[in-house]
Structure 1
Amino acid sequence: MTPRADSLTAEIVDLIGTVVTRYYEEYEHAAAEHSLTGAQARLLSLLSVEPLPMRKIAERLKCEPSNITGIVDRLESRGLVERRPDPADRRIKLAAPTAEGARTAEALRMSLHFAREPLGELTSAERTLLKQLLQRMLGITPE
């Protein structure tokens, strides 16, 4: 079933677009504060959750694996990322943050005030509802 195009839906789509644009602008600024590109910062943040092979990083960041290799190379040369063998299959190399890389990823996360501060104005119940609605929109099964 195709949702109706109504003025409320259009307004919500515009608001979501504004939030996304502001988030990326702030993310780019935060990355620059650490002398990183936005792509380097996103990759570092992704790896701070778990070490990943290049193919998985490319899938998650929606780009070509050859681009990921270059980004990992640059982060590795700065001491923020390292390559290590996958314990499950030693033929596969995982990219993982170094201790400095993990600290940088955390500093990036903490500097995203636009993403955090407005949410702080919402009650816990409102934040929970927003999370559930976003998960539903994305087809994510709630935890």
Structure 2
Amino acid sequence: MTQSTPRRSTPPQADAPPPGTDLLMERLAHTAACYYRSFAVVAAGQGLTLMQGKMLSLLPRPRPMRALADLLGCDASNVTGIVDRLETRGLVRREADPADRRVKNVLLTAEGEAAVRRIRAEMATGLPGLERLDPYERRALLDLLDRAFPAAG
């Protein structure tokens, strides 16, 4: 019985110049655009807009409305409208923060959790490149993303 050794990505050429920041930013922008294009299609399949789907994915735990606005990069009034529509569909609910009753936290309902699971499952099948990464490459990618974007981790 032969054992297969894990496939490792080829290290960069020592004598090749490293890619510049412009190229890295261009590649990140392209990657983000591809990801969100796929995400928008999957969210639409759940009857959600891109922003509604993004908001649901940001709620593994309750978050204040202000924090959601910061994470989504939009005005708090936009968040209110998104939450209103998600609440009408029974996907989220608001509750007063126990430490400050003026602050409203948004949290997923059971239906909202199910919608997030469906979106993530469909996204996983729609991004086959991630599935092709071996465990070593997955750890390396996660480490690089955490180092490049420490606030995201």
TM-score, length of structure 2 as denominator length: 0.79
Is 1:22 the equivalent of 2:34? yes
Is 1:64 the equivalent of 2:49? no
Give aligned pairs, total: 135
Select the structure that is richer in helix. Answer: 1
Distance apart, 1:141 and its partner CA: 9.6
Identity of aligned residues (%): 39
- Any stretches of 5+ residues in structure 1 without a counterpart? 1-5
Q: Is the 8 A contact 1:23 1:114 kept in 2?
A: no
Out of 86, 94, 100, the position equivalent to 2:111 is 100
Per the alignment, in what secondary structure is the counterpart of residue 63 of structure 1? coil
Is 1:33 the equivalent of 2:65? no
- Any stretches of 5+ residues in structure 2 without a counterpart? 1-16
* Distance (whole Å) between structure 1 residues aligned to residue 71 and residue 110 of structure 2: 23
Is 1:129 the equivalent of 2:111? no
* Distance (whole Å) between structure 1 residues aligned to residue 55 and residue 48 of structure 2: 10
Root-mean-square deviation (Å): 2.1
